[in-house]
Amino acid sequence: MKKPDARIYKLTLNRNKVTPINAVFIDDKFENVHAATKLSIHGIHFKTTAKSKEILKRLAFVKFVNFLESVA
């Protein structure tokens, strides 16, 4: 079993007890990122470290905003 087989992503999620919406997958191969996003995992197609960091920061902000709205 290997990427982009959906089973590898599901196995990783289950072993780490993480839901897809709370997971981020970063890879330099678009097909692997696309496979992850089909499972509702946040996917980042790696191009540069700076760009990946920027996207990760945005994802964290969005999750924080969603959390605040859910407890309001």
Partners of 45 in beta bridges:
27
Taking 70 as the threshold, does the pLDDT of residue 59 lie above it?
A: yes
Count CB atoms within 10 A of the CB of residue 46: 15
C-beta separation of 41 from 9 below 8 A? yes
Quote the CA–CA distance of 17 and 68 in Å, as a whole number.
23
Quote the CA–CA distance of 72 and 1 in Å, as a whole number.
43
Task: Domain 6-71: give its CATH architecture.
Answer: 3-Layer(aba) Sandwich (3.40)
pLDDT of res. 64 = 61
For the chain, the domains span: 6-71
pTM: 0.80
pLDDT of res. 7 = 98
